[in-house]
Amino acid sequence: MAILSFSHVRKRYPGGFEALKEISFAVEPGEMVFLTGHSGAGKTTLLKLIAAIERANGGTVLVNGQNVSAMRPAAIPFLRRNLGLVFQGQKLLYDRSVFDNVMLPLVVTGYPYREAARRARAALDKVGLLEREKANPVTLSGGEQQRLCIARAVVNRPGILLADEPTASLDAAYADEIMEMFSAFNQVGVTVLVATHDQQLIGKRHKRVLTLDHGRLL
Amino acid sequence: MRAWLQHHRLSLAQTISRFARSPFATFLNVLVIGVAVSLPLGGYAVLGNLESFSRKVSTEPQLSVFLVGNAVKNDVAAIEARLKGADGVRALRFVGRDAALAELKRTPGMAAVIDTLQSNPLPDAFVVTLAAGDPELADRLERQFKSLPKVAHVQADSAWARRLDSLLHLGRTTVALLGTLLGVALVAVTFNTIRLQILTQHDEIEICRLIGATRAYVRRPFFYLGSLLGLFGGCAALAIVIVALAVLNRDLEPLAALYGSDFRLRFLDPAESAAILACSAILGWIGAYLSVSKHLREIELG
């Protein structure tokens, strides 16, 4: 059964702008899928519907068999605990260390401290930031900050990883490195959905590509 | 369950460390609440003192019945019989004119004045103790005794106590109004403090919601913040009132000595103090609740 499926999903923002029109697709567990399209095509909106940051105006969004578009507000936190989100403009907390930033998702879910610390270090190790754990995120470079966001997204071992333009504002070498990281997570069984407009990055990876154009899936 | 307890502990610790990080702002907030609470609290403490004082006075309601100057023994006996027979009279004490003069003579400085008098100007009098401190009874007996023959004047000794009592009633209403208003002020202060705190933690709240924090998780620290602000404010108010009463008592001492009294303002008892602390903590919580309900919705993302 698909881990993620959209059927006839529509999203209209207040003011009448129709961001998504009749979107239908399904993603199998363990798949890695690229979502592409011009800016304003609806990539970010589509990802937001999966995480219930926005609600669809029609159709159904199923995540792990749960209908997100009809979900009670109280159930949403538990949906998000199984999603790793790397969103554009996502903030790091500059009032605490790199380590504490990665700890946050585990603290929020009430993980026992010792086990949480072990997992946080493992996640930092995977993105190559373990030796910077005591640093303040403000001292990290743009690429390192993006890696920290990824570590935070994967620390609670989500089944699905969603990334929105994770390589924007990074130079080509860094972008490639970040994309390799997503591939690595996919290889250990995580379902990955990456929205990007960078055709070069998509081109060499031979994964399924969903293309959005003015809110329609091509 | 363990996670829940752990988060409560964590929220509390975070709130306290947040206070410690900005001690001056916290101090000012607590001070504002303390001053606001101390006004009705101080009024309440002073009123409580006056009330117990007035209760002491009015538990022995008395009427003084003065006879006309030319009353003879028979008149006195007749009036005594009438007074004794009246409803609501518990005790009767006769103060003869000679005894009254002798007593007056003992007052320092009066002896010389009295010696110059050729005759005793004082009338015979009865001091009537009433059975109950009921103002209506006192009024009725006062009228009744006034109409007796050979009675010149009836004075209700408890009249001023009753005046004090109705003044105290006014005071109580004022304190209640003040307390309500400043309780609202306390709610407003915590409301605004929490609003600012939510604004400074905007990013943290947004991120926490995105990584699966429940609403309760996000809100809990703010409830602690509001309740603690109220609690500390209540402590500050108690401290302010203790100091204020001590200062007033210092000035009151010589005044009370002039009246031969050892009257002192007493502080609230422990149960009342605890109630005040609980009350201000609850008001702080209410302020936090209102603020969180209003402001968190805007950043909660679904």
pLDDT, mean of each 10-residue run, chain A (218 residues): 91 90 92 91 92 90 90 90 85 90 90 90 92 91 89 92 88 87 92 90 86 89
pTM (2 d.p.): 0.74
pLDDT classification of B204: cutoffs 50, 70, 90: confident
Q: How confident is the model at residue B300 (pLDDT cuts 50, 70, 90)?
A: low
**Residue of A36 and B68 predicted with greater confidence:** A36
More confident residue, B191 or B137: B191
Residue B281 banded pLDDT, cuts 50, 70, 90: very high
Give CA separation, A198 vs A65, A101, A148, A167, in Å: 31, 28, 21, 8
pLDDT at B268 over 90: no
**What is the share, in percent, of chain B residues with pLDDT greater than 90?**
20
Cα–Cα dist A18/A192, whole Å: 26
User: B208 and chain A: CB distance < 8 Å anywhere?
Assistant: yes
pLDDT computed for residue B58 by the predictor: 58
Instruction: Give the integer Cα–Cα distance in Å for A102 and A147.
Output: 11
Q: How confident is the model at residue B159 (pLDDT cuts 50, 70, 90)?
A: low
Alpha-carbon distances of A71 from A77, B109, B224, rounded to whole Å: 11, 93, 30
**Residue B55 pLDDT > 90, yes or no?**
no
Residues of B in contact with A52 (CB under 8 A): 302
Q: Is residue B225 within 8 Å of B195, Cβ to Cβ?
A: no
Å between A205 CA and nearest CA of chain B = 29
Q: What is the pLDDT of residue B19?
A: 77
Q: pLDDT at position B161, please?
A: 67
Q: Using the predicted structure, report yes or no on whether residue B110 has a pLDDT greater than 80.
A: no
Least confident of A14-18, B25-29, B83-87: B83-87
Region of poorest pLDDT, from A56-65, B71-80, B216-225, B266-275: B71-80
Instruction: Please tell me the distance from the alpha carbon of residue B105 to that of residue B301, in angstroms, as a whole number.
Output: 89
Give residues 158 to 197 of A whose Cβ lies within 8 Å of B. none
B210, B218, B300: best to mutate for the A interface, most A CBs within 10 A = B210
Predicted pLDDT at B295: 85
Reference B30, options B165, B191, B189; nearest CA is: B189
pLDDT at res. B102 = 82
Q: What is the mean pLDDT of residues B72-79?
A: 83
Inter-axis angle of helices B159-200 and B215-258, nearest 10: 150
Would you list the DSSP string of chain A?
--SEEEEEEEEE-TTS-EEEEEEEEEE-TT-EEEEEESTTSSHHHHHHHHTTSS--SEEEEEETTEEGGG--GGGHHHHHTTEEEE-TTPPPPTTS-HHHHHHHHHHHTT--HHHHHHHHHHHHHHTT-GGGTTS-GGGS-HHHHHHHHHHHHHTT--SEEEEESTTTTS-HHHHHHHHHHHHHHHHTT-EEEEE---HHHHHTT--EEEEEETTEE-
Task: Return the residue of A nearest to B209 by Cα.
Answer: A77
Among A204-213, B14-23, B201-210, the least confident range: B14-23
Tell me whether residues A108 and B215 touch, CB distance under 8 A.
Answer: no
Nearest CA-CA distance, residue B223 and chain A, Å? 17
Mean pLDDT of B171-189: 91
> Given this model, what pLDDT does residue B191 score?
93
Classify B168 in phi/psi space as left (phi over 0), alpha (psi -120 to 50) or beta. alpha
pLDDT confidence of B57, banded at 50, 70, 90? Answer: low
pLDDT at B7 over 80: no
**Cα–Cα distance between A209 and A194 in angstroms, integer?**
10
Residue B150 — very low, low, confident or very high, per pLDDT cuts 50/70/90?
confident
Q: Where are the alpha helices (DSSP H) in chain B?
A: 2-21, 23-58, 73-85, 97-106, 110-115, 135-146, 159-200, 202-210, 215-258, 270-295
More confident: B12 or B287? B287
**According to the model, what pLDDT value does residue B288 have?**
93
Q: Do A77 and B212 touch (CB under 8 A)?
A: yes
CB contact under 8 A, A53 and B6: no
**Whole-number pLDDT of residue B92:** 83
Sequence-distant (6+) residues with CB within 8 A of B107 are none
Across all residues in chain B, what is the average pLDDT? Answer: 84
Q: State the Cα–Cα distance between residues A156 and A146, nearest whole angstrom.
A: 17
Mutation to test the B interface, candidates A11, A101, A108, A113, most B Cβ within 10 Å:
A108
Please give the structure tokens belonging to residue A97: 């260390």
Specify the higher pLDDT residue, A209 or B70. Answer: A209
Q: B275 or B121: which carries more pLDDT confidence?
A: B275
